Amino acid sequence: MLASVVYVYYRWHHSGFAWQKFVDVLSTVDWSWLSLALALILATYVGRALRWEIMLRPLTSKVALWKLVVATCIGFTAVVLFGRAGEPVRPYLISRKAGVSFSSQVAAWMVERMLDLLMVLLIFGIALTQISRSGIQPGPRIEAALQAAGLLAGVTGFLCLALLVGLRRFRGSVRERLMVSLSFLPELVQQKVSRFLHAFEEGMQSTQHKSYVGLLVIYTIIEWLVVAGSFYCVFRAFPETAGLRITDVIIALGFVCFGSVLQIPGVGGGMQIATVLVLTEFYGVSLEAASGIALVLWIITFVVIVPLGLVMAFHEGIKWRSLRHIEGPSSGYGL
């Protein structure tokens, strides 16, 4: 990511960035396509709440879907404002609303992250195969980066699958072995660790039922199809990218998903850089146009939830300062 930042800065500094062209790109946007992209992205937050409701089923059936939607919107708002440090907000709020332990929802969050990561790796793998079959001719530097990225994606996918299978078999022997290995700790600490692990097991119960696992996979696939549809609408909204095909959108989505791992609080970062690199290097879009499209794509996919999330947080009476000291309602554990 640091190399990408340096590369974009070099291109920006030496290409004579024309701000007027940047403004012109934003002024020619098709708002009908952007409105559709916005609707699709907002639908993904409902989809995420539905997927989380499945993971809550083994623990409780009392929580309403709307409460999960509210917690999801506020949680993603925290991620935009605070970066990855805001990730615990969503499981914390859901644990409060559902009346379950915070540790169990940390486990649910891990399952969700792994499912999303596997989908991102699948999309990225498809993107790499489509590059070789398309008319794109990346330069030697980009070609080397693609080879390294492909290797990284394969290794990460294998580790993610192994971890998911390991967590699915977490109950019983693994917890006992962990407690035996921690027997040197004081009794009070061992009791706290045991309560945490027990709550974590509760959060993993959804992976013990084949029907729940199937639903989680189906919801994840639908979720990312909707995200891909939103990307397609954003690209159709600009004349410079309106001619991109579905395969081109998948290529862009694969790279942008990896770039979004670098989330700088309030300003994004990696997502914009990845978008600029893909559009300029693969599709010959000017730097000004690529920068404008990257900005709009970031706003649609990330920033748009912030006003809604802030309104919901205000309505819920949440103070952002209090989220710095997150504690589980039953386990007594902070993060």
Instruction: Note the pLDDT of residue 132.
Output: 62
Please check the confidence at residue 16 and state whether its pLDDT lies above 80: no
- Compute CA distances 70 → 8, 151, 224, whole Å: 37, 38, 20
Q: pLDDT per residue over 202-249, tens digit each?
A: 656 655 666 777 888 889 999 999 999 999 999 999 988 888 888 888
- Judge whether 90 and 70 are in contact, CB under 8 Å: no
> What is the pTM assigned to this prediction?
0.75
| pLDDT, tens only, 173-205 | 666 666 667 777 777 777 776 666 666 666 566
Average pLDDT over residues 303-324: 79
CA angle 238, 241, 243 (to 5 degrees): 115
> What pLDDT, on a 0 to 100 scale, did the predictor assign at position 330?
39
Q: Decide if pLDDT at 129 tops 80.
A: no
The mean pLDDT of 294-311, rounded to a whole number, is 90
pLDDT, the chain, mean: 76
The most confident of 16-25, 43-52, 156-165, by mean pLDDT: 43-52
Chain segment 139-149, per-residue pLDDT in tens = 666 666 666 66
Q: What is the mean pLDDT of residues 313-328?
A: 64
Confidence of residue 331 (pLDDT cuts 50, 70, 90): very low
